[in-house]
Structure 1
Amino acid sequence: MMSLTHPVSDPSASSRSDALSLDLLLSNLPGAAYRCLNDSEWSMVFISDGVEKVTGYSAAAFTGRPGLSFASIILPEDRDQMHAAVAIALAQNQPFQVTYRIRTANGQIRWIWEQGALNRQAGTLEGFLADFTRVKHADLVMLEQASFLQQARDAIIAMDMASRISYWNHGAERLYGWSAHEAIGKRFCELLCDEQAHYETAFAHTLADGEWCGELAHMRRDGSKVDTDTRWTLLAPDAVPGASQKILVIGTDISERKSSEARIFRLAFFDHLTDLPNRANLLDQLRRALLGSARSGKCGALMFCDLDNFKYLNDSQGHAAGDLLLQAVARRLEGCVREADMVARLGGDEFVVLIRPVEDSRDVAAAQAETVAKKVVAALAAPFQLGELHYTLSVSVGVVTLCGLHDTVESTLRQADAAMYQAKAAGRNTFRFHDPAVQAAWLARAELESGLRRALQRHEFVLHYQPQLDRSGRVIGAEALLRWHQPDGKVVLPFDFIRIAEESGLIIEIGAWVMRTACLELARWQRQPATAGLTLSVNVSARQFTEPDFVTLLATIFAETGVQPSGLRLELTESLVVTDFTSTAQTMATLKRQGVSFALDDFGTGYSSLAYLRKLPLDQLKIDRSFMRDVLTDQNDASIVRSIIGLGDSLGLQVIAEGVETAGQHQFLANAGCHLYQGFLYQPAMSAELFMQYATTTH
């Protein structure tokens, strides 16, 4: 029945409209729809125009008679595999999905993704195919990048904000022992972290700053610990909806490095023979004890122990017996003190006992020290069994109470040493407390300080220059050394007045004079072709270097003298580096940018953390003369010198030895790999004029 309210539509018009709509739909597809025979050539019955964008061939090229076989443009190495996949799907009455490569009309290779099914009524295949090249390449890039991560030696781990592990590479498998299958989904903090506090600190810093780096000890699958140098990075959430924020953890195994550092530390700060702390270790611990005493007001004591007539045992029974005795003495001394106290060997037959500052007054500390001193004398008086030899020994002990408000490392050791000699004078095999009256140097302090002020006013200071030479005997530079020419003609060395200059504050003015004079001389060298390449090392005191205007002072001196800062090397002490590391590092970095280089002076006599050495812009380590003095006879000193040379080499630093006085010492250094020297074997410090003559004839 025809509608009375609507006109009757034309069926042919409707068909034309449907055809146009279908053409429009097909033209907007990102590929081509097709119908083909289920034959080996995929002979096309119909294929939409979108095929031209994919293959470069028009639709008519495939549907014409004779038409282009679609199978012919599939790469031969993919054709059989693709046909087999389609055949399996059809046999199971399932749709098929395949990817394969074709060669386009212009010869390009493209990846095709295709999905289709069998029209059983018509007996044809119908489906859709599209260009898959960009996606395939992206997958390959992603797989390649994932392969790089898997091949990395470092452990690379990703975890979410709940500490759940979502990525675990082969490096992590090798380092920790768990496979990715076992680790993914586990909580990082529970799987690897033995110290939860360290994990929480790293996590908090990462959230606050976006990253954290440091050293962490992690647990392996077998229960052992591994030291890692670790960097944590906070990653923004992926653009994929629902993706969570993650933390990327990259860990490097540093167990071997930590073990090497521990061995070097042991060599540098423990006595090889007795396994006691050595002189460098003692000086550091004494300094710390005095600082702690100054803060807390607590008092302690120091004992200087010297074995009586030890030389007789070495001369009569040999050094092997002497070594056995020293080892036995060390163990007995350790048995006389509390666990918190310290027994150290200074060298030879000299030992020191440090009683930590825990008492409320000097009197109480003295009473405690007297108890320990009596135990030491009694313990060492008992006979020693050295192999088949019975040997009786006595000891002289000097005792000084210490309190950081007034005492220094130097004064404490000096007073204990003086008290030890009083014990020897009293007949040995006893102990004596320090008597301040015997220290004449303290009484002369005021006179010395006055003389220093006069020396500044009357220009009594001069600089001498000690040559520094390389392995071929060529002069490469010099160290500027301060001398005090007194009115009576006496020449006073810095050892006799620098401490007073430091304590009185005069070192600031003296140091400024030294720096200005040294830069004037260095500028003179730089104007002469024969000496233009020489460097000049200048010692800078801790107090001077930490002055707020030190950098400004140097800038002024550089401008006034016209010196090139690249020829200047500042020698800093270990105590400065350890005491105020942050400020020291900042000042060094500022001066380094201006061309100034740096040496760590007297290396090995204090405590230098390896972490500090790595973080400071140092150029040179200087072996202290105290180690060179007995380097040919004392295995401990020899080991320390070799360790310093090896440490400098591993850190890329020059190593120079001072105090080289004999050809044997020179040969020892050369064999150990140190090839920069200064000392009396070559030349003592000399005036500026004599140095210029020497440098120009030797250079």
Structure 2
Amino acid sequence: MTSRTDDDAAGAPVAADVAVPVPARPAGTDEPAVAPRARPRLLPTVAAVVATGLFAAWLADDLGSRYLRLLVSDLVFVAAPSVAAVACWRAHRRTDSGHTGWLWLSAGMATWAVGGVIWAVYELVLGIVAPFPSAADVGFIGYALFVGVGIARFPRAAGGFLSRWRSLLDGLVIGASMMLMSLIWVLAPITDDGSWTAKHSVALAYPVVDVIVASLALMRLLVRPPGRRRTWALLGAALILLSATDSLYVAETFDRNFRPGGLVDLGWLATFALIALAATHAKDDRPAPDEQAESLPPSMAQQLVPYVAIGFAAAAYLSFTDTEHGSHHYLWLLVPYVVLVAVRQVVVVADHTAVARDLGQAVERRTAQLRHQEQWWQDLVQNLSDVVMVVGPGGSVEYCSPSIGTGLGSWPGQVEHVADVWSRVHPDDRVAVRRSMSPVLEGRRRQSFVECRLSRANGVWGWFEVTVVGQLNERALVGAVVTLHDVSERRQLTDRLMHQADHDALTGLPNRLSLMRRIDELLDEREPGEGVASALLLIDLDDFKVINDSHGHPAGDRVLEVIGRRLEGGVRESDTVARLGGDEFAVVTTGSVDEVRATADRLMQRISEPVAVGGRRFLVRASIGVVFAGDREHENADALLSHVDIALYEAKARGKGGVVYIEGSEREAAATQVRLREQIAQPDLSQFRIVYQPVVDLATRQVRGVEALLRWQHPELGNVPPDEFIPMAEHGGSIQRLGWWVLESVCRQVAAWSRQVPRHRLAVGVNVSIRQLDEPDFAVRVLDLIDEHGLERDQIILEITEQSLARDFENAVEVVAQLRAGGVSVAVDDYGTGYSSLQYLDRFAADVVKIDRSFVSNLVANEHTQKIVSSVLDMARALDLQSIAEGIETPEQLDVVLRLGCELGQGYLFSRPVGAEAIGELLGAGPLAEPTSAASVSVA
């Protein structure tokens, strides 16, 4: 039970706050929920853009012979309309909308494709230029019949008589404007030569039919509601582009300038790509029910489109009068056009008037709905589930809301005095209630609050939040408002939350916080020298991420629940099993050393038993780290948890599925590891240095580059191996800081070498952690750093290990693409040590493959390894990748690597990792010594 008082009379509320539940839909309204919009289909859009872009690039490069260009052009213009036809047919099958619009559009695209086939027969089979006009023009012009019928078959958008007329006139104005622009800007020289033949008729038919179908599409676009115009916008853009392309084709044909592979071809391809995209998005643009039932006012864009068309038409005519083809006898073109625009304006004004009238009626309807809702809210307040009482100065109840019957159950008789309510207070809460409420009822306090238990009619205790607010009138108490708010569910939730604060929500096991308390309790209970060991076991499920990724998180959660129960069943009641998060568990146990080891073995066996989930059987393995607690004087929960984490890390490093114990003197080594982890989390960069190992041309012994390697010279522990501190830095989050320090230092050093030995343009490989690639601006920062030091971007080669790619391959691919686009080279390091290597190389756009030293060390004695390395080198050559063999230490290894065709190599045979000064000397000395004496001349 809790209580709170508030003596602040000034500005205090005069009534208790009441929580009012809000229903999902007020009574008397009929507003359907808005369905979520479907996500745009990205893949077809990307495919269309890529296909068009590749074709444009091919046209721009002017590649191939004339026949090849004819062949590619003709094949594309049979395939492109065919793809569009298939897309329209699939849209008809997919939308299931009850009309045949997409089917007619599919027939129109097929008709155009037939024209393309006839055209190809002329050029590729008969070997002649297709005449104009020809049989192919039947398909190129006849498509419009099918497309026009198809557009007409689509259902019309809702709207009144004037709205439909406005959309019709808008389409006519746009069509007339397009026709006028086509005649003036493109076809004027054709129609003004004084003659008229079948050739002129066919030439004029192209823009006429194109303008008609484009206008029909734009008419549909202009009446579509906002957010539902994607399909028609794509279709309208395609038909407008087709109109412009056909007009250009006719003009070039008359001028005898048309040839395949020009801008006209690109326009046709883009047209059919847009039509295919429109069909792909057809399902996304089906109108919602409310859009079908109600006409919406035209948007600003819808109103501006016809005026834009009128403006272009006027510009075309004004420019036309200043050309050699301009003359007054073309003035007749403007007469019907101006009349059409004037009629359209009249209809627009009338439509706007009608829309304003409709909006006024809609406002009236909405006002009536608001009145209804206001009454609904008034009824709701009077029927609150909270109990509201007005209590007079003597405790008499002047008003009590009817909800007292539902709030406290069946109430016995009329409530006349506040004591009738207090009699139902739980005995343990009555003193606190009286202490909290009496000052307010007596006029000594403005407001008070308390939570207490009240008995319901059925005898069940419920938790209520009781608020009393005193009502003052010129400092004289005239009453108080008492509000009873049922908080039973909230209290239950609070109890559950308190339980969850100490327990894992999925397994119900104690969590980390509870585990730490239990460890401290156990250490406090231990008596020195009692011969009983206390141990902490840290258990991590190996490769558990595979279950989540392959079968989904629900299956993974179910496996965790089963493992949690097994762990509980495998220990004594006095032991504690906790889940620390993810796939990590911990067990606190006591007993002899042998008993602790037996417990670890038993838990390992129980975990390894198959787990049946949803008809599947999962085999789960685990790694366990175990640490034995020391004396309480030198022990605490944090140290135990840190040391057992070291043991678990070692267990995983040994191959997973094992147990590693840390006890006695081993605790000192674990403490050292903990200290290194703490120090590497905030690294002192003055303790680090960079050494460089040359990468040489195996044929000439010339130094072609170097690899930068990081070294940690610890002031107390000496040289800490990279294999030891690099994983710590990645785990502790400091790898990003170290990585940027290495990159900046390397760039500065390469710039110094360039000044020292300007005839050598040295490339330097720098190892990059996969965690660095997670930084959102990584690629930009790398490029800026290289440019800041005045280097060529390909002088820096970023090396990423194959195993690290598996952690976040998709992000790595994206970042590497940005780096390579900026000119930075990328290498796959330790190639062959991970899995799915071919898959990674296929998608990972690298420049260099570095063969891991584990393969090179076995080359001489193992023919199977030679075959593997040979295959890798063949694959690298096929993918145009440079290959570097790592770890060449003997002349025999060098002979085999050279025989297999590797270009570059590094290793102790040529030079150990050395300082920057030694690299400068090597660059000035020329080729490295012959292999027979290389070891003796290496600088180290």
Question: How would you bin the TM-score normalised by the shorter chain?
Answer: 0.3 to 0.5
Report the TM-score, using the length of structure 2 for normalisation: 0.33
Report the TM-score, using the length of structure 1 for normalisation: 0.43
Would you tell me which structure has more strand in proportion to its own residues? 1
